[in-house]
Amino acid sequence: MISLQGLTKRYGERLAVDGLSLALRPGTVTGFLGPNGAGKSTTMRMILGLDRPTAGVALIGGRPYHQIKNPLCTVGALLDARAVHPGRSGEAHLLALARSNGIGARRVGQVLETVGLGGAARKRAGTLSLGMSQRLGIAGALLGNPAVLIFDEPVNGLDPDGVRWVRHLMRELAAQGRTVFVSSHLMSEMQLTADHLVVIGKGRLLADAPLADVIDGGTLASVVVRSPYAGDLAGRLRAAGMAVRRVAENELEVTGAALDRVGDAAFDAGIRLHELSVRSASLEQAYQRLTADSVEFGAQTTGAEA
């Protein structure tokens, strides 16, 4: 279990993390979301003792990281896949980690096979692709068979098969009763992976709730309508007090109204429909709503539409 109590980090006048208090529990994949600069990596670094908090504490199993003996056997982490000596092989890198934490050499071969690098164990780290480096970093996190695992953007550089593998790995680790804490900017993937979400913005906690609650919290499902008379239908629906957005020549998106109400309005108007369906709310929509006032590094759009 990971426990944060008033965790705060200040760099000069900049408040990077602002009083975070959380309890991340075993048996759960907790997704960690937030815009660039929100304080996610800083939070993870403080949990692992790499940055010292300005105030508050971060505890793993009730103790700060620096008090844990053989820490790889308690918590495994991947923060930077490239943080390996480029001239050292993946196998040699993991052997060094194992020996420093009292882990047998046999375990190195096991984790290399687990992450799919058994055939590349003796390749120099500097020659590995980003995706292979991510796999090596995950192997390092798994090395001590820890109860707590922390991953910062673990799918960066992975192909679709690798992304799917990481998703299944995270869920399998949680099913074994481990605490899994993972950050990502891929909303669709996080929606498939996480059980619980922590969302921060400008260092402050915005949400700490089960995935379903975050998605449903104020983010309404919409009704999709396709009709060759979409323009006429839009006028009818708006006159009935519905919020309507035209997304294509023959397609409308209606929010704030049930599917049967939209269908009845079209029937009463004698307008033929080609589609009437519900589009479920998404994590991306919920995330944008939560972080709308917390984006520090947003780019301006050009005149052309994407």
Alpha-carbon separation of residue 102 from 19, 24, 98, 112 (angstroms): 35, 27, 6, 18
Measure the CA–CA gap between 77 and 1, rounded to whole angstroms.
14
Contact call for residues 70 and 13 (beta carbons, < 8 A)? no
- pLDDT, position 50: 95
Phi–psi pair at 154, nearest 5 degrees: -70, -15
Mean pLDDT of 124-131: 92
- On the question of pLDDT at 290 being above 90, the answer is no
Three-state SS string over the chain comes to CEEEEEEEEEECCEEEEEEEEEEECCCEEEEEECCCCCCHHHHHHHHCCCCCCCEEEEEECCECHHHCCCHHHCEEEECCCCCCCCCCEHHHHHHHHHHHCCCCCHHHHHHHHHCCCHHHCCCEHHHCCHHHHHHHHHHHHHCCCCCEEEEECCCCCCCHHHHHHHHHHHHHHHHCCCEEEEECCCHHHHHHHCCEEEEEECCEEEEEEEHHHHHHCCCCCEEEEECCCHHHHHHHHHHCCCEEEEEECCEEEEECCCHHHHHHHHHHCCCCCCEEEEECCCHHHHHHHHHCCCCCCCCCCCCCCC
The mean pLDDT value for 265-276 works out to 95
Residue 282, token pair as written in the block: 């998404």
If one counts every other C-beta atom within 10 angstroms of the C-beta of residue 99, the result is 12
Convert the pLDDT of each residue in 159-214 to its tens digit: 999 999 999 999 999 999 999 999 998 898 999 999 999 999 999 999 999 998 88
Mean pLDDT of 114-118: 93
Higher pLDDT, 272 or 220: 272
pLDDT mean across residues, the chain: 91
User: For 203-254, how does the pLDDT look when each residue is reduced to its tens digit (9 = 90+)?
Assistant: 999 999 999 888 876 555 689 999 999 999 999 999 999 999 998 999 999 9
For the chain, the C-alpha Rg in angstroms (whole number) is: 24
Hey, how many other C-beta atoms are within 10 angstroms of the C-beta on 180?
A: 27
pLDDT of residue 286: 83
User: Any idea which residue has 């008090």 for tokens?
Assistant: 67
Give me the half-sphere count of Cα atoms (radius 13 Å) on the Cβ side of residue 142: 21
Q: What is the pLDDT of residues 5-39, one digit of tens each?
A: 999 999 999 999 999 999 999 999 999 999 988 99
Q: What is the mean pLDDT of residues 268-279?
A: 93
Which domains are seen in the chain, by residue range? Answer: 2-210 (3.40.50.300), 222-280 (3.30.70)
Q: Checking DSSP bridges between strand 222-226 and strand 148-152, what pairing results, if any?
A: unpaired
User: What does the pLDDT average to over 258-280?
Assistant: 92
Contact between 213 and 226 (Cβ < 8 Å): no
Round to whole Å and give the CA distance between 163 and 153.
11
Per-residue confidence (pLDDT) for residue 288, from 0 to 100: 84
Question: Could you tell me if 253 and 244 are in contact, meaning their C-beta atoms sit under 8 angstroms apart?
Answer: yes
Report how far residue 117's alpha carbon sits from residue 125's, in angstroms, rounded to the nearest whole number. 12
Q: Are residues 64 and 49 in contact, defined by beta-carbon separation less than 8 angstroms?
A: yes
Per residue in 52-108, pLDDT (tens digit) is 999 999 999 999 999 998 899 999 999 998 899 999 999 999 999 999 999 999 999
Higher-scoring residue by pLDDT: 281, 269: 269
In this predicted structure, the answer to whether residue 304 has a pLDDT above a threshold of 50 is no
